[in-house]
Amino acid sequence: MDIFRLTTRQHAQLQQHLFDGTGLEAIAVGLLGQTGPGDRRAHLLHQIDEIPYAECIRAEMSVTWPTRRLKGLLPHARASGMTVLKIHSHPNGYRGFSALDDASDRELFAAVALKLPGPHVSAVMLPDGEILARLVADDGGFRPVERVAVVGDDLTFWPDPAAGLQDFDERHRQVFGDRTTNLLRWLTVVVVGVSGTGSPTVEMLARLGVGRIILIEPDAVEGRNLNRIWGSTRADAAAAVNKALMMRAHVERIGLGTEVITFQERVDTAEAVHLISTADVLFGCVDSLEGRDTLNRIATFYTLPYIDIGVRLDADGAGGVRSVSAGVHYLQPGGSSLKSRGVYSDAGLRAEYLKRTDPAFYEDQVRRGYVRGVRVDSPAVISVNTLAAATAVNELLARLHPFRTAPNSAFAVQKLLLTHGRIALREDGEPDAELAPFVGRGDCLPLLGCGRIEAAA
């Protein structure tokens, strides 16, 4: 399967340029980041270069344009392992590629292939914003891009998924209708961390009918986990079964047809990054700052929506409860990050990294006061974890099928303050200046543009 992904901001820029109110065709080109080889590949919009109207000969059903701007992109694309995009408008609403489009694409991309082997992407935008895309091979052959995804406050996918009525989803259809219910069956969702918040997340995704779930979790079930991991048993703990394998067996027992893929190593490996990069949605259910930083980078580099779940319980260990809260963050590529939102700092990230890679030096730095100690073994309560997971899964549903009275932009952060009996909402903040230039960058060295992650991989 081939997927073309772009952000809402990129989509809006293209739509504004391609439809200027004249009813004449217009064109833009761009650079596309790539995911690694495999049976699923994503083509990620990284850079847009609008072809000025004055340089084109425009008509209602054609546009003739100079290729020098596209040629100017080729050296950078070749050096960075990227491909190119050509996208033009069909103001008349023709939903497909015309014979003229076929001829011009073959001629254009044959010339491009002399400098930069493909395949490359050719796309058409319709007046309502829908995008049709296809791959153009070096020999002039065409292959459809099966899915186009626009990631922003809302999540938009084209084309509409095919109908597939299931006996268990009748009541889902009563709420969300056929399109959204079918879309859930169409999606691949990654859950990183299959413990207190990850296991109820997986349970709900499977029972909602999500077609494919990827579980990334290196740890095994222990007796102390049984108070909060859905589907886990004493037998799993006694056999030290990997949490992802345990959850896969549990989902398969449910029997609703969800395919589950497991990966039993850390998320900062090249294999894990590749698995995540070809999915549609990312859930982060991890406690570590390193894990969160890695997931935020993956979401940026591979243009993915990222829903992060965190729970905090402050207690004195003797029954005294000071605070019970949870946070659900929706993060979109090109927006603010968990770090820019204050969830963690560079100092905290460094301390955690030192503790994992050089424990003796870490302890010395803590004693000297150069590093704050990393908190471990936080309290956990299944009902609080499940509430946070349910909020996160509902967040996905709201982004796929906006049903709230307020726009989704108001729900970038949801703080569930259980000790105060209220929910605090926050909109997205300023873009993370460190990550924003890497939206849609895709595969690169170092991995995710980070030496620390490259070393771990």
Q: What's the CATH code, domain 167-456?
A: 3.40.50.720
- The label of the residue with tokens 């004493």 reads 234
Residue numbers of the chain with a pLDDT score lower than 70: 163, 362, 364-378, 456-457
Q: What is the rounded CA–CA span in Å between residue 356 and residue 360?
A: 10
pLDDT of residue 381: 86
The residues facing 261 across adjacent strands are: 214
Alpha helices in 19-64, H assignment, sequence order: none
Q: How far is CA 27 from the centre of its chain?
A: 28
Q: Strand 306-315 vs strand 281-284: parallel, antiparallel, or unpaired?
A: parallel
The pair phi, psi for residue 389, each rounded to 5°, is -65, -40
The top-level CATH class assigned to 2-151 is: alpha beta
pLDDT of residue 374: 55
pLDDT of residue 352: 85
Q: What is the pTM of this model?
A: 0.94
Q: CB under 8 Å to 450, separation ≥6 — which residues?
A: 297
> What is the per-residue pLDDT across 90-107, written as a single tens digit (0 to 9) for each?
999 999 999 999 999 999
Question: What's the token pair of residue 136?
Answer: 């153009």
Cα atoms in the 13 Å half-sphere on the side-chain side of 250: 25
Cα atoms in the 13 Å half-sphere on the side-chain side of 169: 26
Task: List % helix, strand, coil for the chain (3-state, nearest 5).
Answer: 40, 25, 40
Q: What is the rounded CA–CA span in Å between residue 265 and residue 335?
A: 29
Q: What is the rounded CA–CA span in Å between residue 51 and residue 67?
A: 9
pLDDT of residue 167: 79
Q: What number of helices (H) and strands (E) belong to the chain?
A: 13, 19
Nearest to 121 by CA among 56, 35, 29, 48: 29
The ranges assigned to domains in the chain are 2-151, 167-456
Alpha helices in 81-139, H assignment, sequence order: 99-115
Q: CB under 8 Å to 433, separation ≥6 — which residues?
A: none
> What is the per-residue pLDDT across 245-277, written as a single tens digit (0 to 9) for each?
999 999 999 999 999 999 999 999 999 999 999
Radius of gyration for the chain, computed over Cα atoms and rounded to the nearest angstrom:
23
The residues facing 123 across adjacent strands are: 87, 133
